[in-house]
Chain A
């Protein structure tokens, strides 16, 4: 195996993208999963469908939408660029937004399973004593933590591996926006099989470690 060709900055950029995407998933996905658990059936079905949509879209389609939304073609993009000075296209932050959208369905499903494991009676009694926000913060979050932690891991792993959606928004600029998956693609395109091998092996090891951690977490959750 040849480490000489490896540009270690791709790992740093991948980490930035995945950590940011995971944070976005936590912020948007946790309340969304809780609402899906608590709403009555019709609203729950609607929210659930919206949350799962990225799962059935081609990642390139997601990338295309994000590119359109963040770029000058859309009024939202103009607002970001002209009024807030946020240029996200061709940045790793833009890639992180794409990766977050791709990972959201997995995050929401796993978090939802965590919330659903809470005994309904506990939530019923809690509802007679506390506001919905307090019930969420003081009862639901602490009791659903194994499921939520598993959701964080799966969202992180998924973001780390995302290629199609991120490359459309951020391209693959070495040292700036080139993530590990993008670097593998470029290595294969360039015929550098050694480099592709090395990077793919690293990806597999990291993925395996994350899945192992998740399996252990879910065992903790199941034991309670």
Chain B
């Protein structure tokens, strides 16, 4: 059994954390709000927090087993750990920081230099951490984690304290490292964009448990519950009822607006209460609605609110007639092309593949 496998429970005051998953050679993002248990999960894998019960194995060797009271010390776990605070040893030079966790072999210094070069830090080896910028410090922290020769990298919001421009660069470097070194990376973040950019797979944490774990696009496009949809930034979540089920199509009614979806999770019957989810960026705006076009997922609307975010606009639309309020996200350029600033009536159209239906909680 290669890779990481964890199945543990931990009580912290009133907070109960239960978590179970496996990770292979991939970048698995642990996503959730602060206090949802994702950082604690990482700490348990690193060996900094002891679970109350369960097992952790890596590449077939035991790291933790509550039944045998076995707990491998953190330093013997072949994992590199880095977090938001670069936490460099301030009294050591950059090179000493990186070498600190490495076995004292003749090639240690050479390898430390290689890591520095790999992260664009040549010439910094004798500098003290305090003389480095935030981004440079975080690079050193990454090099130090990699210096452990670990194939498992545990990263707890490593870029959250940095400027957006620096973050973008470091994310790209991380993806490169991962491709070059074949790493298993567990990456904790509460930033939706970062999660989407980095994740091969995504685990959505909420209140001490994993609500959904799967390939990134599955989680983003087919959230398993209303809560997952909320956490992953689905802005249109409507309560509705099933009208008809004709696999692969499911027809629902939302405040009288009839929508046809290609995807539905669970065994649904007509009359069932459901949550209908559509991501704001998956809704199409159209100038014209031909009179002959009378099919589902199409309605005329009026823009009632808009928010300019620079690269994109968020619009709130009210159907003329029946139906729920609909949020639409549109990039700045199409916004101009459609002339939205001086025109308020638009038709909206939603592809059946972009409508996701789950049974209401």
Contacts and interface: CB of A to CB of B under 8 A. Distances in A.
Contacts of A121: 83, 85, 87
A38 interface: no
A126 B87 CA distance: 9
A19 B48 CA distance: 39
B340 to A, nearest CB: 47
B162 to A, nearest CB: 16
B100 A119 contact: no
B85 A130 contact: no
Nearest to B84: A121
B208 interface: no
Interface in A116-140: 119, 121-122, 124-131, 138-139
B135 interface: no
A128 B100 contact: no
Contacts of B81: 124-125, 128
Contacts of A142: 91
A129 B100 contact: yes
B139 to A, nearest CB: 15
Given A128-B101, A131-B75, A143 B48 contact: no
Interface size of B as a range: 20 to 34
Interface in A12-58: none
Contacts of A122: 87-90
Contacts of B48: 124, 127-128
Interface string B16-48: 000000000000000000000000000100111
Contacts of B43: 124
A126 B89 contact: yes
A119 B75 contact: no
A139 B100 CA distance: 10
B79 interface: yes
B148 interface: yes
B74 interface: yes
Contacts of A130: 75, 100-101
Contact of A128 (B79, B85, B88, B91): B79
A139 B75 CA distance: 15
A139 B96 CA distance: 12
Best-buried of A124, A125, A139, A142 by chain B (most CB within 10 Å): A125
Given A121-B83, A138-B100, A127 B89 contact: no
Best-buried of A122, A124, A138, A142 by chain B (most CB within 10 Å): A124
Contact of B46 (A128, A131, A138, A139): A128
A125 B82 contact: yes
A139 B144 CA distance: 15
B77 interface: yes
25 contacts: A122-B87, A122-B88, A122-B90, A124-B46, A124-B81, A124-B87, A125-B141, A125-B144, A126-B89, A126-B100, A127-B47, A128-B47, A128-B48, A128-B74, A128-B77, A128-B81, A128-B148, A129-B75, A129-B100, A129-B101, A130-B75, A142-B91, A143-B89, A143-B91, A224-B90
Given A124-B87, A127-B47, 14 more contacts: A122-B89, A124-B43, A124-B81, A124-B83, A126-B89, A127-B74, A127-B75, A128-B46, A128-B75, A128-B80, A129-B101, A129-B144, A130-B75, A142-B91
Interface of B: 43, 46-48, 74-75, 77, 79-83, 85, 87-91, 100-101, 141, 144, 148
Listed from nearest, the 10 A-B pairs whose CB atoms lie closest are A129-B101, A121-B87, A121-B85, A128-B74, A122-B87, A128-B81, A142-B91, A125-B87, A127-B74, A124-B48
